Structure 1
């Protein structure tokens, strides 16, 4: 990993740290390449991933040096360079960025974002990419893209709507306003809120609790819950039966 993203492995727990506190963990395409690479290379025995940001902020979003007049980031395409690409090239570029945000909810893992301070734009979307969010009492979420003339394009709109509903998601995105800890908890964005000093310990404790149950049961349960919104009541009952049949056969050693 680079000096800006760290990965630590302790048995079934992985901790991914955004480690550029001098820039409030602002993100660049290099950040996204590294995060996507972590998702592809995690050992098979990892069951829980904690995503955290070093310093006062979780992530202040896209590095402003990539915006017009920002001075640029060495080796990285600025937004004006992206806009100059043809439709296929631009679509492929954004799709590659999204890879950093899509693996956190895969069925074999449970992911937890430990969020403090600013989680703005891409930072908000990265927190939304995780299954759960443990938030410090100083957290400030903001979806700033629309206010800048852009749209949230890093896979964050679907989980936001799932959490807060269409109308509230529209209001949050279009106004770009800040959401503090109390409101985040009330809306379901924050799974829990803790004092800032307790954030890392709370996220680690939750990760350990989530890995206490047998792995295959957790995988099946997560898949059931992830699919529930797209299934009818009867379809969900059928999915429950099928999942339980697999678990019973596995636990009791029964054949087909």
Structure 2
């Protein structure tokens, strides 16, 4: 049974690729609201992370720059600058790191520690908070030739074995958020094709019920804010169940929160 949903149209931009949706029965949908989360320096967001205490929000932009959100000023502040990076990692021409940041993540055990990757971000692999050895992974949009076929997988033995997740044809980004009330497993969010239908989805199954062959996903949106740009990053809120942040490939970001 479908539930009512509401979208707040604060900003919209059309300019990214549109994924076709094959005819299928509509999945369950979640009631809530999308809001804009602007980024002043470039709109291509490929990495976003939130600390477990909710105090530190970071993201990576299209210029390979990395930023942190200042709650006092409601603005993004640049992390990668000549004064904050080791001298050997600074390019004299522009004062920024030569390599740039391809992925960014707040350490689960320390909200003041941030990890950044410089391997071009080709493969996305993330451990499940609070569950040692449990890992999700997808190839990500490596290039236009295989972009629609990024496989989504799960491991429960420390990456020794991976099982493809059934009925998920493609995932462009995924993340974790606070568990649903009564659940012992973080909520899992994906942006991709589930049962051949594009959208942003959430799974809230308990750990014992989490089965890659039978897991079901609740749709919380298709094109947030009416934006057809590709979603390149997804991150759930660690302190508020149902809130999830997404970043677009050219027009900033948005966040979804459950209706009151």
More strand by share: 2
Larger gyration radius, structure 1 or structure 2? 1
Flag whether TM exceeds 0.5 (same fold): no
Q: Which structure shows the bigger proportion of residues in helix conformation?
A: 1
**What range describes the TM-score normalised by the shorter chain of this pair?**
under 0.3
